[in-house]
Amino acid sequence: MQRQVLLSVAAVIAFMLAGCSAQISSFERVPYNGLAKTPPMGWNSWNLFANKIDDHTVRTVADAMASNGMRDAGYIYVNIDDTWEGVRDAQGTLSGNQRFPNMKALADYVHSKGLKLGIYSSPGPLTCARYMGSYGHEDQDAVTFATWGIDYLKYDWCSAATIYNYDDGLQTAYSKMGSALQATGRPIVYSVSAYGTANADKWGAEVGGNLWRTTQDISDTWDSMIGNIEEQVSTAPYAGPGHWNDPDMLEVGNGHMTDDEYRTHMSLWALAAAPLLAGNDVRTMSASTKSILLNSEVIAVDQDPLGKQSSRIKKRDFEIWVKPLADGSVAVGAVNLGSASIQVTIDARDLGLSGTVENARDLWEHREVHFSRNAYSATVPAHGVLLLKVSAS
């Protein structure tokens, strides 16, 4: 989340007078925690609920995910974003606010549904929404999160910019929490969020991150979604098991794009080996939204154990994204960037396969297709996608 908080001069002076100014030093490199061997899948509260999230809503979302097929499809994290935070007691221990009166009980409830609970904080004194951050309490908060039974932490830069030097302080800030989480002994997926402006793809793994934001915040528009995925081209070398580039959460089902655009959204995130964190109201999904989020063949592309991110080939009216898969096949997505239907042709020579195409399957139509003379053509609607799995003999 980018919602940058600019602390007032008075607030910054107060922190400094309290002895809270940061000492910047060479950051501690944090070893891999063994988690997120495929991109994390789940749900996040912010895109739909923002600051209106509460304990009851999280429980009803968990109920829905356990019964509507999401959990069984791999969506296992139920992530509470900003605005859950309360105050610290005399010992500095953080609690939830009145909307989250018992975080341990909430975690127990989510776990009882076969799901995992995620939470949010900031390396700064305040979060993006001006709630209590973790600055100066990193070790203490990590222990608190572990004691509650938290399974995932999104750590959002925000007011840390008032404490740390931006050029060399991000790694210091994020490695503090990365080390603190691992010291608890609890397996907690660590999501580094610095809005894609700090080259986190190059150092995210070194601070213990399992995933890191590579873009600004997504919104429920075609331009935002396509803009975020285009930024993944240069990040591809840094993706792999346990360490993922994150173009932000899914907007599928939030109502401001067409179903064709949402299928493109889901396809591109799968091709990019991106985390799949739904951001819609999973309690009241339409049949079309459910068919997009629960398409097992598309999810399998995202969750492929090889962990390779797709590369892009630009064409005149469309672009092709090609992702190598663990079984030697490739997933290929042809995206129509225009406002009218077009015919796209996928040339087998662009796919990096050795040999002649033997099998090809349309992952949205759930049917086999045939390459003729080493090419396959199909009509793709405006802002739509053709997504195939192709193997060679």
Enzyme catalytic residues: 156, 217
- Strand order of the β-sheet with 330-336 is 311-314, 318-324, 330-336, 385-392, 357-362, 367-369
Whole-number Å distance between alpha carbons of 139 and 181: 8
DSSP assignments along 16-42, one per residue: HHTT------PPPPB---S--SS--EE
- How does 76-95 read in b/e, with b if 16+ C-beta sit within 10 Å? bbbbbbbbbbbeeeeeeebb
Alpha helix (H) residue ranges in 8-137: 9-17, 46-49, 55-67, 70-73, 103-112
Rounded to 5 degrees, what are φ and ψ at 280?
-105, 180
Q: Which residues pair with 82 in a beta bridge?
A: none
C-alpha–C-alpha distance, residues 285 and 166, integer Å? 41
Q: What whole-number distance in Å separates Cα of residue 189 and Cα of residue 210?
A: 6
Using only C-alpha atoms, the chain has a radius of gyration, in whole angstroms, of 21
